[in-house]
A and B are shown apart, each in its own frame.
Chain A
Amino acid sequence: MSLVGARGIVRASRIPTCQRQAALVVEHEREVEFYRLFTGRDFPGEYGERISALRRGAAFERAAFKNDGAQLKEALAPRFGYAPEEMWARNFAKEVPGSPSAIHAARLHRLTRVLGDLIAGKRVPELLIQPQLRIPIRPEAGYFEFIAPDFMVLDRQRRMYVPGELKSFPERDGLAAAADLELPRRQAAVQVIALTALAQKLMVADRVREQAVFVFATPFGLQLGPPHLEALRAECREIRRAITQLATVHRRLEELRSIKNAPLIDLIDKFAPDYREACHGICILAGPCKEAATGTAREIGDEAREMVGADMPLQRIIELSKGAAPTTQVEAELASALADAAGVLDTLATVRAA
């Protein structure tokens, strides 16, 4: 699986301070292959979505888009003030079938025309299934990423589409688990920014709101639950931050390659990693980056690195707690608190032993 499109941008947004990860995203690297090149061994863990999850996700989408998006229309109509039978849907996957890399431009062209019609006041489809957007990362250097929302629904009041995501995990009482929501919300934020970019070209960016609609499954199988319109201001901010980082790394890669055209693996040391707690479970290089941070405060968590400094050796923390003389300003500030903490832990051990 490569870090292309929304997947890559979302990844970069989760650890926006890591240049190494941003370089992988810019290069659309296949992570498992890169891991092998980087470490000299195969990735020992589980990678990518499981077959069972992919199948259920695909089955959920199929059910939603079947019969001209009948189920999806049924779910969306009340929220957006339509009658389901009056909704006009265009399915871009049917209109322009083919492999993702071949159909980007054609689908994007069609969407641009739809938006043109919308601005001209003509009737446009209320529902667009699998439309295509494009997000400019560094447009002056021709660096764009193609983004494909599951669907977009027309907001009649604002005369603009709202990106939408279908997710097959179940919601309860209008809520999905917070952990399940983090990724889709960022994914949707990428779509919002891509839609804004297109709307900007057509001079109607002010119509786009930082919000998206989510449709989850009910707890009773693959039926669609009610839609949820959610504000995504924080996520949009995170994505913009990631885009800035990606543009910086893209520029740096260009500079390095102007001297010597080399594959990323030969240049990777020029891009600083930033090992954090969030790396676990999202980045394939979390293990090697942790190894590189062995014995420092980074290894015991983000809060520790904020408090004592990322590169403070754990052994030094122990020494200071035992009364070693501080040698820096930071150590001087920490020493008495660590000695006090040592007293508490030692007393606790005594109390437990008693």
Chain B
Amino acid sequence: MSVIDILARARAWTDARAVTMRERATLSSDPPTAFGIAPIKLVSEEHVQAIAYGFLDAMPSFVTRWHPLGRDSSELVPFAIALDAYLMQMLSKGFLPRIWISDTATMDLLETMGHRFHSNQHASVEVRRMGKELRLLSLEGSIPGQQVVAVAHTLLMGAMSTGQTGAEDAHLGALMAWVNPRPGQDTVKLAAERALIPATAMLDRQNDDLVEALRRQAKGSGRRAALARKRIRRVLEQGAGAQWNLLIEARDAYLSLGLSADHLEPLVEGSRERLRFGMSTFPEPGRSPTALLAELDRSEHAIALVEDLDLADYGTRERARRSGHVFAAKVLTWNPPDPRENGFIMQLHAGQEILRVRRGSMIRLLDGKIRAIVSDVEAHENGGYLLTVKV
């Protein structure tokens, strides 16, 4: 945390509303239609018992499983069909699909669902394909800077500072109290109240206990069991509906920040290529050392690209400057005096106290047009550093 972040939190606390920390987005604009997934899982298990899903500008559809530990997965078929139709339609029209989820717990759940169903012989063809697609989306979602899976909570945390602790921000409902404060209500109190109810893809306690009790009845046969199953479904739909509403609220809040996203095309292109390839072959995640090294390499490259692009954002750039990763410098000399080709030497004066370059560091102008290697760093008599660089 930098002093800028501390002051932003202090300001947010004083104003009782979150402070926006960015002017550039980390997520490209949504395609014409975006798809949302808001599941409910069994507590402390990665078994899904309900999903609200669909286009984000329409009412959601629901699938529910009254016995989520059972082998029957046929209840998931409508979701499987809708997800596949969306992905295929987007790709065929040349758009990059956009899946919105509320938090990383949802991502973990979808990943485990994918693992469980992608080759499950007891599952239908549609559900197996859903498993493959969820695996692919989870894999894509793990790549830094990817542009397919939008995790609303992560996006908001990256773009805003609240007047509470980071640990409290981990609760999406509590975070939203700061992002969308209610007039006349104490934001701190509202956030604290919301934090008392878990917001990570699960039912509230009362409904969870109710479903657990009903599940015993539902396992029987006859009218009573049928009624219990119906009640479970209703409770699960309500729970998934609440998660859906939270997702919509968080997404709207992020989009309403109006962050400019025109610098993200290289990331969009990377996601598009990976998804197009993945949807055609559904490759198994690599396990050999060579495959893992390739993955590490890809990840490192992605991180470097994201960090580079992120410097287009003023807030990020200024923080990087204060930590010495970005600097402003004045050109003192260059040699030869009238350079006509690459390979000339320059002396720069960087006035800042913290500077994270050393002999051999590669530096570049923020617009990326000129690169140079640092050949010497020494203290400058007027403060800051004197850099000798070879362009």
Name, among B1, B21, B319, the residue most crowded by chain A CB atoms within 10 Å (CB to CB): B1
What chain A residues lie within 8 Å of B42 (beta carbons)?
52, 56
Contact call A318/B116, Cβ cutoff below 8 A: no
Binds A, one of B193-201, B261-269, B300-308: B193-201
Give the distance in Å from the alpha carbon of A170 to the alpha carbon of B9 in the complex.
37
Q: A290's contact among B3, B7, B192, by CB below 8 Å, is which?
A: B192
In chain A, positions 245-301 with a C-beta closer than 8 Å to chain B are: 277-278, 280-281, 287, 290, 294-295, 297, 299-301
In chain A, positions 37-61 with a C-beta closer than 8 Å to chain B are: 44-46, 50-53, 55-57
Contacts A46-B198, A280-B195 given; does A300 touch B205 at CB 8 Å: no
Contact call B163/A299, Cβ cutoff below 8 A: yes
Contact call A281/B167, Cβ cutoff below 8 A: yes
Q: Tell me if B69 counts as interface (CB < 8 A to partner A).
A: yes
Binds B, one of A111-119, A230-238, A339-347: A339-347
Give the distance in Å from the alpha carbon of A56 to the alpha carbon of B47 in the complex.
12
Contact call B11/A300, Cβ cutoff below 8 A: no
Q: Tell me if A79 counts as interface (CB < 8 A to partner B).
A: no
Binds A, one of B12-20, B86-94, B337-345: B12-20
Q: Tell me if B28 counts as interface (CB < 8 A to partner A).
A: no
Give the distance in Å from the alpha carbon of A8 to the alpha carbon of B130 in the complex.
44
Q: B209's contact among A50, A321, A342, by CB below 8 Å, is which?
A: A50
What chain A residues lie within 8 Å of B164 (beta carbons)?
299-300
Q: Tell me if A168 counts as interface (CB < 8 A to partner B).
A: yes
Contact call B314/A348, Cβ cutoff below 8 A: yes
Closest to B44 in A: A53
Contacts A177-B108, A318-B14 given; does A345 touch B4 at CB 8 Å: yes
Q: B7's contact among A221, A338, A352, by CB below 8 Å, is which?
A: A338
Contact call A300/B165, Cβ cutoff below 8 A: yes
Q: Tell me if B126 counts as interface (CB < 8 A to partner A).
A: no
What chain A residues lie within 8 Å of B6 (beta carbons)?
297, 300, 303-304, 307-308, 317, 341
Interface size range of chain A in the complex: 35 or more
What chain B residues lie within 8 Å of A277 (beta carbons)?
165-168
Contact call A55/B212, Cβ cutoff below 8 A: yes
Contact call A300/B13, Cβ cutoff below 8 A: yes
Q: Tell me if A103 counts as interface (CB < 8 A to partner B).
A: no
Closest to A303 in B: B1
What chain B residues lie within 8 Å of A337 (beta carbons)?
3
Contact call A314/B23, Cβ cutoff below 8 A: no
Give the distance in Å from the alpha carbon of A57 to the alpha carbon of B112 in the complex.
19
Give the distance in Å from the alpha carbon of A341 to the alpha carbon of B161 in the complex.
14
Q: A345's contact among B19, B116, B193, by CB below 8 Å, is which?
A: B19
Contacts A280-B165, A344-B4 given; does A315 touch B20 at CB 8 Å: no
Q: Tell me if A158 counts as interface (CB < 8 A to partner B).
A: no
What chain A residues lie within 8 Å of B322 (beta carbons)?
340
CB distance from A86 to the nearest CB of B (A): 32
Contact call B3/A278, Cβ cutoff below 8 A: no
Contact call A348/B9, Cβ cutoff below 8 A: no
Name, among A295, A300, A315, A321, the residue most crowded by chain B CB atoms within 10 Å (CB to CB): A300
How many chain B residues touch A (Cβ–Cβ < 8 Å)? 53
In chain B, positions 281-316 with a C-beta closer than 8 Å to chain A are: 314-315
Q: Tell me if A323 counts as interface (CB < 8 A to partner B).
A: no
Q: Tell me if B379 counts as interface (CB < 8 A to partner A).
A: no
Give the distance in Å from the alpha carbon of A342 to the alpha carbon of B6 in the complex.
10
What chain B residues lie within 8 Å of A349 (beta carbons)?
20
Contact call A170/B46, Cβ cutoff below 8 A: yes
Name, among B167, B188, B211, the residue most crowded by chain A CB atoms within 10 Å (CB to CB): B167
Give the distance in Å from the alpha carbon of A277 to the alpha carbon of B1 in the complex.
14
What chain B residues lie within 8 Å of A53 (beta carbons)?
43-44
Closest to B9 in A: A300
Contact call A342/B9, Cβ cutoff below 8 A: no
What chain A residues lie within 8 Å of B69 (beta carbons)?
221
Give the distance in Å from the alpha carbon of A340 to the alpha carbon of B3 in the complex.
9
Q: Tell me if B51 counts as interface (CB < 8 A to partner A).
A: no
Q: Tell me if B235 counts as interface (CB < 8 A to partner A).
A: no
Q: Tell me if A102 counts as interface (CB < 8 A to partner B).
A: no
CB distance from B103 to the nearest CB of A (A): 12
Give the distance in Å from the alpha carbon of A315 to the alpha carbon of B211 in the complex.
47
CB distance from A125 to the nearest CB of B (A): 30
Contacts A44-B196, A53-B43, A280-B167 given; does A170 touch B112 at CB 8 Å: yes
Q: Report B174-201 CB contacts with A as 1/0, cut-off 8 Å.
A: 0000000000000010001101111000
Q: B165's contact among A52, A220, A299, A307, by CB below 8 Å, is which?
A: A299
Q: Tell me if A172 counts as interface (CB < 8 A to partner B).
A: yes
Q: Tell me if B231 counts as interface (CB < 8 A to partner A).
A: no
Q: Tell me if A169 counts as interface (CB < 8 A to partner B).
A: yes
Enumerate 19 A-B pairs (CB-CB under 8 Å) in ascending A order. A44-B193, A46-B197, A169-B46, A219-B46, A277-B168, A281-B167, A299-B163, A300-B13, A304-B1, A307-B6, A317-B10, A341-B3, A342-B7, A344-B315, A345-B7, A345-B8, A348-B20, A348-B22, A352-B23
Other A-B contacts than A277-B167, A304-B6, 14 sampled, CB-CB below 8 A, are: A50-B209, A51-B208, A51-B212, A56-B42, A57-B44, A169-B45, A277-B166, A300-B9, A314-B163, A318-B7, A318-B11, A321-B10, A338-B3, A344-B315
CB-based closest 10 A-B pairs? A45-B196, A277-B167, A303-B1, A300-B9, A301-B165, A341-B7, A317-B10, A341-B4, A337-B3, A52-B212
